[in-house]
Structure 1
Amino acid sequence: MRTFMMLLLYWTASVSAVKHSLKYFYTASSQVPNFPEFVVVGMVDDVQMVQFDSNTMKTVSKQDWMNRTIDEQYWERETGGFVSAQQVFKANIEIAKQRFNQTGGVHIVQRMYGCEWDDATNEVDGYEQFGYDGEDFIIFDLQTETWVAPQRQAIITKHKWDSNKAFITSVKNYYTQICPEWLKKYVNYGRSSLMRTVLPSVSLLQKYSSSAISCHATGFYPDRAVMMWRKDGEETHEGVEIGEILTNNDGTFQMSVNLDLRSVPAEDWRRYDCVFQFSGINENVTTTLDKTAIRTNEGKKIIRNDEDVVPIVTAALVLAVVALIGFIIYKKKTGE
């Protein structure tokens, strides 16, 4: 999967503890059964706050703190903007099909945009990019105030947008002024929820006696966290594989760090510790490698067991988008 979808799923996985983000994802599709033609998801600090889709034609809150602090005019204004964007994106799909010499089939246009604000330094940054059928199409570079065209089909758009100085000025103003101001408002509205810290539940897992030991942390918040294995109190990288931070269905996060001990004698296992820590917070969760505490499937006929394997769950909308992109790539490869 190309950069666009990687950004969709894993953007800001390693940002600092004082950096906040506001992001919007627009997804327009054609000829996709049982899926809205247009969907908008808004996220603050990687927590979904609003959603709009062309089936309901309404903007709905995904957080209680949004309902408590936002007036009705806000929802009407947001809905009006998203309805207008739906018509633009519908036209954009047809334009993209012409650029790529396509006549029909399943196609998707996406837009991701947003900003970041460091509440310690007050520095701000912004980003915007469009994708077509799962690949980058055109990207705005805030530093140079120009558009970048990764594909030749986007060069026409790049020249048109770059030559419109008033448009460039408005885009820059949005990402350096308007977007950060709204981000600060949202962070203030949801401070008690967004700024909370929840330590994880940590388990030691192993599929077979010959498999790597997996130290799995789940239920933590926020996602600005790291995990490591230590040997005799010192961080070790030998035989260590660090997994991605993933989202649980309740808005918390999970991650794993694996350790291959096939060449280490059993009597030396207790020299290893698994350490979970939040960035910028001096509070660790340390789990000593105790062989008797490892949960394993060894000797079981059914390898996958809900009590032994923690399911990886992402937001339903993101899963749907990923499935659609995968479907498109599959169709391309098969020539259909």
Structure 2
Amino acid sequence: MFRSTEPTQIKMKTIYLLFLFCHVSSSVKHSYKNFVTTTTGVSNTPEFMITLMINDIEVGYCDSNKKFEVKRETMKNILEDDPQFLKEHVHDCFEKLPNIYKNILNTLTKYWNQSGGVHVLQIQNGCEWDENTGEVVGFLQCGYDGEDFMSLDLKTMNWIALNPQTVGTKQIWDADKFAINEAEISITYIYPELLKKYLKYENSSSLRPVLPSVSLLQKTPSSPVSCHATGFYPDRVDMFWRKDGEEIHEDVDHGEILPNHDGTFQMRVDLNISSVKPEDWSRYDCVFQFSGVKKDVITKLDKAEIRTNRVPPSEFPAAVIGVVVGLLLLLVCITGLFIWWKKKKN
């Protein structure tokens, strides 16, 4: 007896459509984070420092020593287009915020009877914005002397004491409705708007992709060959190995996209060449692609282009001979010096 396959086909189509829908509607989240550090009793360090991170990339820094740095070209464009915003931002970093956080730290040390010594107040605040759903999730967390201290519940607009010692401080902070309202406005409205503004500048057509420097790396002759790209921007890229012009997946290991200290990115993709014959190397190449950019960066698998720390076999004998000759010359000099000294003594 034959059974109809129609229900199975319908079920498979439903699963495929659900998978497709989930893939298309997957969330794209962006983050805006301020890392604030205020200290007392620490020498050779600014009493106040703040670092701004967007999508976990440092875009700006300032401190109470009047140091102001803009790390990303996008942030420079925003500040240049809005001089008033720049003026207010510099004033906040140099004057307003250091005084606010210094007063908080002094209040804490007095409340806990901590006179003198080193004390550190750390605050992380910001938001995450889902580009697809529009949902904004804010956060404000405090640390004191290396331990979790307090966090703000944005639903109830009350502080949460993260250890028993902070219960008394929570009651005092809960009573300061003005400060809570200021924090709510910043986290709920100001930060999301700044984040969206930054991303708008970031994605503008005036910002050109920065091409990477691509190198072939190998630790030992039996190790995989790593195609390493660094210094590229933005991070919407793909990189893979090809054979005869076709992308391959077997014997290939993809690394993650990692940030560099200057805001650019790096990534690698490894090819296991243990089964590749020397005469077939020319059939392989590494391809770096920017999303939306037609021109690829292609690097041929060429033994002469591979960078390695090992000494090539052809250079090894020469290196050994050089060391031996150097030691012999040193021995001759020492022997001659000893004979001269002995004759002089006699």
Report the TM-score range of the alignment, normalised by the length of the smaller protein: 0.5 to 0.7
1:82, CA displacement in angstroms? Answer: 1.6
Judged with a 3 Å threshold, the aligned counterparts in structure 2 of structure 1 residues 126 and 275 are, in CA distance, closer, same or farther, namely farther
Please give the residue correspondences for 1:180-259 in structure 2 after superposition, counting only pairs within 5 Å.
180-188=192-200, 192=204, 196-225=208-237, 233-235=247-249, 240=253, 242-243=255-256, 245-249=258-262, 251-258=263-270
CA distance in 2, matches of 1:221, 1:272: 25
Q: Which moved more, 1:31-40 or 1:162-171?
A: 162-171
1:269, CA displacement in angstroms? Answer: 6.5
CA distance in 2, matches of 1:17, 1:223: 17
Judged with a 3 Å threshold, the aligned counterparts in structure 2 of structure 1 residues 93 and 30 are, in CA distance, closer, same or farther, namely farther
CA distance in 2, matches of 1:94, 1:61: 33
Aligned partner (choices 123, 141, 146) of residue 135 of structure 2: 123
**Runs of 5+ consecutive residues of structure 2 not aligned to the other structure:** 1-25, 313-346
Contact 2:48–2:98 under 8 Å retained in 1: no
Partner residue, 1:34: 44
User: Aligned-pair RMSD on alpha carbons?
Assistant: 4.5
1:55, CA displacement in angstroms? Answer: 1.9
Aligned partner (choices 90, 93, 96) of residue 81 of structure 1: 96
Contact 2:120–2:144 under 8 Å retained in 1: yes
Judged with a 3 Å threshold, the aligned counterparts in structure 2 of structure 1 residues 24 and 141 are, in CA distance, closer, same or farther, namely same
Partner residue, 1:90: 105
CA distance in 1, matches of 2:208, 2:88: 29
Partner residue, 1:22: 32
CA distance in 2, matches of 1:256, 1:26: 33
Judged with a 3 Å threshold, the aligned counterparts in structure 2 of structure 1 residues 199 and 18 are, in CA distance, closer, same or farther, namely farther
Contact 1:219–1:248 under 8 Å retained in 2: no
> Match of 1:299, SS?
coil
Query: Rg larger in 1 or in 2?
Result: 2
Please give the residue correspondences for 1:1-336 in structure 2 after superposition, counting only pairs within 5 Å.
19-45=29-55, 48-56=58-66, 63-65=75-77, 66-71=79-84, 72-91=87-106, 94=109, 98=112, 104-105=117-118, 107-119=119-131, 121-132=133-144, 136-140=148-152, 142=154, 151-154=163-166, 157=169, 171-188=183-200, 192=204, 196-225=208-237, 233-235=247-249, 240=253, 242-243=255-256, 245-249=258-262, 251-258=263-270, 261=272, 264-267=275-278, 274=286, 276=288, 281=292, 285=297, 287=299, 289-299=301-311
Structure 1 residues 111-144: Cα deviation after superposition (integer angstroms, max 9, x where no partner):
2222233455433232222234555444445577
Judged with a 3 Å threshold, the aligned counterparts in structure 2 of structure 1 residues 269 and 190 are, in CA distance, closer, same or farther, namely closer
| Aligned length, in residue pairs | 278
CA distance in 2, matches of 1:221, 1:28: 33
Q: Percent identity?
A: 43
Structure 1 residues 299-332: Cα deviation after superposition (integer angstroms, max 9, x where no partner):
07xxxxxxxxxxxxxxxxxxxxxxxxxxxxxxxx
With the length of structure 2 as denominator, give the TM-score of the two structures. 0.59
Partner residue, 2:17: none
1:79, CA displacement in angstroms? Answer: 3.6
Contact 1:215–1:257 under 8 Å retained in 2: yes
Structure 1 residues 28-67: Cα deviation after superposition (integer angstroms, max 9, x where no partner):
23443322121112344555554321222x6565553213
